[in-house]
Amino acid sequence: MNSKKLQESIAEDANLSLEKVDKLMETMVDVMLGQLKDGTSVSFQGFGAFEVRRKAQRLSVNPLTKKRTIIPPKQVLVFRTGNTYKDKIKDLPRNNE
C-alpha cells in the first residue's frame, strides 16, 4: 500500500476530505519525528510504538585487510510491535512476494 492509497483509505474511513488527510498526515509525521528526535517514543495502542534506540559504538574488523575500525555510536528509529498485534499477524498466511 503506497502513501496515496493510504490517504484515500483514511479519508474514506474517517469521513475527511483528502486535502485534510494530507495535511494531517504531514503534521502528524512532523510531530512524531520531533518527539522521536528528543528521545520520546510514540505509541499507538493495540498496534505498536515507534522509538529511538541508541546503538553503542563498536569495533569492526575488515575480514580482508584485518583493519580495525571504530564504528561510532548512532541512533536508529525502530518500531516495536505491540504484543496483541504481534499475535494477530503471527498466524497470517505467508505473503507471496
Partner 1 sequence: MSKEKNKISIQELLAEIAAGSGCDRREVDSFVRSFVNVLDKGIVEDGVVKIKGFGTLKLQWNEPRKSVNVRTGEEYVIPGHNKLVFAPEANVKEMINEKYAEMKAMDVNDGVGNDENEQLAKLHSQALEIKDLLADFNKKVEKKEDKAETVERKEEVKEEVSVKEEIVATAPVVVAEEKAGEKEYVTAGGNEAVGVVAGNDDYVAPAPIEIYETGERKVPLVKKKKYSKVIDWILIAFLLVSLCGVIFYIEKETSCFSSFFGKEYADIKQYISEFGADEEENKELERQQAKERAQKAALQAREKEKRANAEKTGISDSVKYEPVEITKPKTVEQKEPAAENNADKKEKAASKNASPAKAESGEVLATVTIGKGDRLTILAEKYYGHKDYWVYIYEANRGVIKNPDAVSSGMTLKIPKLGSDKVDVNNPQTLTKAKELAKQYLKK
Judged by CB under 8 A, does residue 90 bind partner 1?
Answer: yes
C-alpha angle with apex 40: 57 to 38, nearest 5 degrees?
Answer: 65
Site for partner 1 in 25-84 (CB under 8 A): 25-33, 35-48, 50-54, 59-61, 66-79, 81
- Chain centroid, CA 48 distance in Å: 9
Least distance from partner 1 to the Cβ atom of residue 22, Å: 9
Minimum distance between the CB of residue 7 and partner 1, rounded to whole angstroms? 8
Nearest to residue 52, comparing CAs of 30, 31, 74? 74
CA dihedral 87, 88, 92, 95 (to 10 degrees): -90
Residues that bind partner 1 (CB under 8 A): 1-3, 5-6, 9-10, 13-16, 20-21, 23-33, 35-48, 50-54, 59-61, 66-79, 81, 85-86, 89-92, 94-95, 97
